[in-house]
Chain A
Amino acid sequence: MDSTLNSFVKEATENIIEATVGWKIEGSVPIERSIDILENNKTSGINVIINFIGTIKGAIILTCSNNMARNITSLMLGNEQNLSEEDIKDALGELLNMIAGMAKTKYSEKLGNITISVPTTIIGNDYNLYIKHDSSDRLSLIEFEYGDELLVIKIYLEKNSI
């Protein structure tokens, strides 16, 4: 697994969340997980996906509960309470866009250029998030705890790019 990318994503997430939301949070050590969770992945809440392509290829996925997504959006907008679902989708998309942008810059400076896509955001209850993958592709998780809630960043890498 490309641990350099993992550490850049972890650092970028900590920095961007502190700068935009004001939460000083520390991510867990990246945990390698079975790629199968991209298949059997019944989920609720919000998922934001940004694909990347270049010297490596894959995706960064941000997952959190609807409640946490609402809190993050409110704080990003200066304690705004009157929030629509569109506000939340846009805010979380922009959050991951900034995280991926910062990680991409650091990665590109050291290990070659990568390009990132615009974010795709899914919100709802009890749905399956399926990402087409090969059994030898790799997946890492970084967990960020705030209060009693968890924000998870998944880093998916295609085998040919590892």
Chain B
Amino acid sequence: MIMKDNISELLNKKEPEGINEYGKPYRVLIVDDSTTMRKIVGQQLKSELYEVCGEASNGVEALQKYRDLNPDIVTLDINMPIANGIEALKAILNYNQHAKVVMLTSEGEKNTVLEALRLGAKGYIVKPPKKSILCERVKIALESN
């Protein structure tokens, strides 16, 4: 009986989404001018065993960190000082056309989101992020070509 329960538990156990096929965590770069939002996104991703390999607070810093860290995926806020999310997206995709980027936006930026998707972003998340939606969109982006 105990064995049956254990097998059932093993079968029902959900694999953490942040682990790749080689058993290593996916590495995420979080870009947002708000430290609060970076912490919220980081906490949600870490709970699924993603590794937050770096953070940036504006578009210029985002490109520098992308080059230095070569993350598997980037979560990128749109409305930021110095260089905004759209400028950062263009720069990152110019550096690596296969880069996987998910945009983070307040609801008021719908046209900008459409522009980001047209440019090559793999998805978007509306603030405040819900963990289930954030992880789902990140996973879809990671699995995209």
Contact = CB atoms under 8 A, between A and B. Distances in A.
Interface of A: 16, 19-20, 73, 76-78, 80, 86-87, 90-91, 93-94, 97-98, 100-102, 104-105, 108, 116, 118
B35 A86 contact: yes
- List the 4 closest pairs (A to B, CB-CB), nearest first: A101-B106, A101-B108, A104-B108, A105-B107
A123 to B, nearest CB: 15
Given A98-B127, A102-B108, A105-B108, A78 B43 contact: yes
Chain A interface, DSSP helix/strand/loop, else mixed = helix
Interface of B: 34-37, 39-40, 43, 79, 81, 106-110, 127-128, 130
A98 B36 contact: no
24 contacts: A16-B128, A19-B128, A20-B128, A76-B36, A76-B40, A77-B39, A77-B40, A80-B39, A87-B35, A90-B34, A90-B35, A91-B36, A94-B34, A94-B37, A97-B79, A97-B106, A98-B128, A100-B106, A101-B127, A102-B108, A104-B107, A105-B107, A105-B108, A118-B81
Contacts of A73: 36
Contacts of B108: 100-102, 104-105, 108, 116
Provide the main secondary structure of the chain B interface: helix
Given A16-B128, A20-B128, A91-B36, A118 B79 contact: yes
Given A105-B107, A105-B108, 19 more contacts: A16-B128, A19-B128, A19-B130, A76-B40, A77-B39, A77-B43, A78-B43, A90-B35, A90-B36, A91-B36, A93-B34, A94-B34, A94-B36, A98-B106, A98-B127, A100-B106, A102-B106, A104-B108, A105-B110
B78 to A, nearest CB: 10
B106 to A, nearest CB: 3
Given A101-B108, A102-B108, A105-B107, A77 B79 contact: no
Nearest to A101: B106
B35 A101 contact: no
A60 to B, nearest CB: 12
